[in-house]
Amino acid sequence: MQRRSFLALLATPFVLQNLRYSRKKNSDPQATSRYIYSQAVRRSRSDGWDKLAMGPLMGHIGELFLGTPYVGGTLEGDGPETCRIDLTGLDCVTFFENVLDISRVIKKGKSGWDDLVKEITFTRYRSGNLGDYTTRLHYTSEWIEDNVKKNVVRDISREIDGELFPIRVNFMSQNPKYYRPLKEDSLLVQRMAEIERSLGATTRYLIPKERIELVESRLQTGDIVAIATSKSGLDYAHTGLIIRDGDTARIMHASSQKKKVILDGRISDYVNGVKSHTGISVVRPLEV
């Protein structure tokens, strides 16, 4: 996105800015989410964003969510696994997931809430099939692997000089107390352990944090960045979207520190600002 158009967009009184009031007043997140979604679709068509390529479209949709409160755990709930969607509060994963899938629905020329549910189910669950808790793509490395296979995204990490990134994950199976379905069902823990072991056979690539600045010019608006961590048992600790602001590749993300969706500074500065961050993997949305 060119700097001039980016600054003009920030100066525009978004329709969705008014939703901050409705978030406070409306006790039904589902109804508010449907309204947010309908307004995003309407705005994309009235402003011609639906004619853009996926990356720029995702940039615009992402900007509509600036200021949305950071809320974790919105995918969890009572009863069996279901495709839960809450646009009134986002974490780092649900932010990029919803932006991606709203954009995919728009590019397909659709607009119904059921269309969004279908799209999110397709990207959120292994092979697009919703089953029990373990069918959800909990680890970002598996989300990338599965959505590359489904032709949703392309992993560009290797082609922008990424190096081999071995996947060694076991956090969920080793800490079931943090995940209610795992805590209540030992069979699910066993399945999760099997999934974790299988991820060890996958190949991912990583741009080390000290080299991110060298590849920033090759990043585009709408690219999804996964930030790797040195913490034991985990692959990635955070996710976000790239927004090009002139010559600068900035990160837009749901920040747990700022408690809302924000447009942050340079991706290289952000990653290097956290000791446990080790680098980034980058996937680019494919056209629908």
Q: What domains sit in the chain, N to C, each tagged with a CATH number?
A: 3-285 (1.10.3670.10)
Give residue 188's Cα distance to chain centre: 25
- Residue 25: predicted pLDDT: 52
The 3-state DSSP composition of the chain as helix, strand, coil percent (nearest 5) reads 50, 20, 35
Instruction: Measure the CA–CA gap between 99 and 68, rounded to whole angstroms.
Output: 13
* Nearest-10 crossing angle of helices 140-149, 186-199: 70
Predicted pLDDT at 17 = 54
- Measured in residues, the chain has a length of 288
pLDDT of residue 24: 53
Task: Please give the Cα distance from 85 to 95 (Å, whole number).
Answer: 11
User: Would you say the C-alpha torsion 165, 167, 172, 174 has a positive or negative sign?
Assistant: negative
Q: pTM (2 decimals)? A: 0.93
Supply 171's token pair.
């956090």
The pLDDT score that the predictor gives to residue 28 is 87
Encoded tokens for 173: 């199976």
Torsion-angle region of residue 28: left (phi > 0), alpha (psi -120 to 50) or beta?
beta
Q: By the 8 A CB rule, do 285 and 54 touch?
A: yes
242 close to 96: Cβ distance less than 8 angstroms? no
Tokens at residue 24, please? 């406070």
d(CA 28, CA 232): 38
Per-residue pLDDT at 238 = 99
pLDDT tens across the length of the chain (288 residues): 555 444 444 444 444 554 443 455 556 899 999 999 999 999 999 999 999 999 999 999 999 999 999 999 999 999 999 999 999 999 999 999 999 999 999 999 999 999 999 999 999 999 999 999 999 999 999 999 999 999 999 999 999 999 999 999 999 999 999 999 999 999 999 999 999 999 999 999 999 999 999 999 999 999 999 999 999 999 999 999 999 999 999 999 999 999 999 999 999 999 999 999 999 999 999 999
Q: Which long-range contacts (CB under 8 A, 24 or more apart) does 45-48 make?
A: 45/106
Burial of 95 (C-beta count, 10 Å sphere; 0-12/13-18/19+): buried
pLDDT of residue 188: 98
